Amino acid sequence: MKNKTAFPRFFILLIAVLILSACSGNVGSDNQKPIITVSVLPQQYFVERLAGDYFAVNVMVQPGESPENYEPTPQQMRALSSAAAYISIGVPFENVWLDKIASANPNMVMVDSTVGVEKLPITGHDHADEDHVGEELDPHIWTSPRLVKIQAQNIADALTQLDPTHESEYKANLDSFLKDINQLDTELTDLFAGSNQKKFMIFHPSLGYFANDYGLTQIPIEIGGTEPSAQELAQFIKLAKDENVHIIFVQPEFSKRSAETIAAEINAKVVELFVLSPDWLNNLRSIGQTIAEMNQ
């Protein structure tokens, strides 16, 4: 009798273990999405809008870090071995690291999302003690809705190359994303159409393309990682007074010291903007509203 009851119990336990193992195996396989690595957080938004659930996204430059001088960690470089693609956007750290990133995984598809984007020179003051050879091009192309449409098309093309089976879905996602971008562009155009104050001061020149799209002028305090000298600070204070500047924008990745010095002299506010937000669409809308409100 004892042996008869032991066998069924063992058999039932064995079946339960096998079912549990099969279930846990299925969960693991569902989580094994192909990985796309990008440089900055706004690109994560772009890829997720276009790829849907078919790819996972890793981001190199983490919140609070600057893409001007970022150095990927050893863990990030090792993680590239399992990436299906890397999508670059032309930020400065890529100049040093992109070849190393590509060599970390010979099978990884390298995608340049800037193809077709016409970059503009960085606008701003000249440091008197510097020799200027040529013009430095502005890398902040994600701050222009109109240029993001070009980047979105490049990313959608890359997704189709990586995964032709879901081409129709990537096309539908692109159409939906472009519709939202056009709506944002219309909103921002209308927002600044009747604005009398077209200039704003900002520490790091990250909104040049945004300003170009909507007839604005950014006055950057810092260019190329160099804070202004005491003499240049005095010039900025005079310029801010002449231009009736009463707001100075700063970014969390950079020092606020120079902006605060100027603001104290002209009785202006220092307001933080996060141009690297992962919530790209709403963040750019919010930036536009902030600039418009502060310039009234």
Residue 17 has pLDDT above 60, yes or no: no
The DSSP line for 134-175 is S-PBP--GGG-HHHHHHHHHHHHHHHHHH-GGGHHHHHHHHH
Residue 7 has pLDDT above 50, yes or no: no
Cβ proximity of 111 and 85 under 8 Å = yes
**CA separation for the pair 50, 135 (Å, rounded):** 34
Residue 129 has pLDDT above 50, yes or no: no
Q: At what angle do helices 145-162 and 167-193 cross, to 10 degrees?
A: 180
What is the set of domains in the chain, with CATH numbers?
Answer: 32-125+138-187 (3.40.50.1980), 191-294 (3.40.50.1980)
Residue 257 has pLDDT above 50, yes or no: yes
For the chain, what percent of residues have pLDDT higher than 90?
66
The predicted model scores a pTM of 0.84
Cβ proximity of 46 and 151 under 8 Å = yes
Neighbours of 118 (CB within 10 A): 9
| End-to-end Cα separation, the chain, in angstroms | 91
**Model confidence band, residue 19 (pLDDT cutoffs 50, 70, 90):** very low
pLDDT tens string 142-198: 999 999 999 999 999 999 999 999 999 999 999 999 999 999 999 999 999 987 778
